[in-house]
Amino acid sequence: MAFSSLQVSIVTYQPDEDNLVRCLYALSEAIEFAREEGIIYSVNVALIDNSQNQNRVRRLIELGNLFFREPTEVSYLHGHSNIGYGAAHNLTLHGSGADYHLVLDVNVELARESLAEGVSWMQANDDTGLVSAALLDINGNRVYPCSQYPSVLDLFLVDFAPRWIGRLFIKRLERFLMRQQVKAQRTFFDIPCFTGYCLLARRTVTDQSSGFDPSFFLYFGDYDLTLQLGLIARTAYLPFMQATFHQVASLPRKNIYYSWWFCKDAMTFFRKNGWKWR
């Protein structure tokens, strides 16, 4: 098995400090383990800040210097304002020359073996261009990063409907979020849409795409990217590439600001990829 090179991108705006520390420390441990296993060597970690807050930028640089040592390289990108989540990842998605690209959410804590597992699996399966890690929350409950192509009704049920309404559509939600496949904890292929918590992509595949569509500011860019890459190569869910997702308690899910961007980006998604109402 040959050494592979890896580009990592992490986008921050107003990150939870504890989650940021956990994310960077776990990433550094996963990189070192994969090196020890002879799977990766050359690694660049791009820490991309969208906030233009100089105190946050200084803290990000402090943490990067604390957790990453040679031969891992660290790039700091900031001062470009809040250009959106996907557009920020695009700053390093193309042209790095790395074999693989890891899109990592700042609230995700990688298991130590995760990178070694994901990259070695990709090395052995060259028909696959994009994979998602398996995720648990801090209570050990499964997080479902896969989904079928969404309908307007699906998005309403998942993000806006009261829980009692969601319970009336439990079988529909099971199908939409592919819960049975994820619960089985087996590798499965050709997932239509991924959430962008922890995605490992093959660069030869991403280079054939336009990357994240900058038309999406906060939501659905990950769904759109999965659809793009799924036309070029296979997508897969890897249960042995594991991570923990730390929900940000202070982020109001139905805050009017986030709800507005959710609806705006959802309309962009459906206009681009096709409407499905139910």
Let me know if residue 161 belongs to a domain.
Answer: no
Let me know if residue 28 belongs to a domain.
Answer: yes
The pLDDT value recorded for residue 254 is 55
Residue 227 structural domain: 4-150+184-251
Contact predicate 215/268, CB 8 Å:
yes
Quickly tell me which residue has 């261009």 as its tokens. Answer: 129
Q: CATH number, domain at 39?
A: 3.90.550.10
Spatial separation of the C-alpha atoms in residues 133 and 103, rounded to whole Å: 11
Let me know if residue 178 belongs to a domain.
Answer: no
Per-residue pLDDT at 277 exceeds 80 = yes
Domain tally for the chain? 1
The pLDDT value recorded for residue 69 is 92
Residues 173, 136, 251, 131: is their CA dihedral positive or negative? negative
Let me know if residue 169 belongs to a domain.
Answer: no
The pLDDT value recorded for residue 256 is 82
Average pLDDT over residues 13-34: 97
| Confidence label for 1 from pLDDT (cuts 50, 70 and 90) | low
The pLDDT value recorded for residue 166 is 86
The pLDDT value recorded for residue 249 is 60
- Determine if the pTM surpasses 0.85: yes
Average pLDDT over residues 207-223: 97
Let me know if residue 164 belongs to a domain.
Answer: no
Tokens (6 digits) for 242: 């594991």
pLDDT in tens, 65-114: 999 999 999 999 999 989 999 999 999 999 889 999 999 999 999 999 99
Let me know if residue 69 belongs to a domain.
Answer: yes
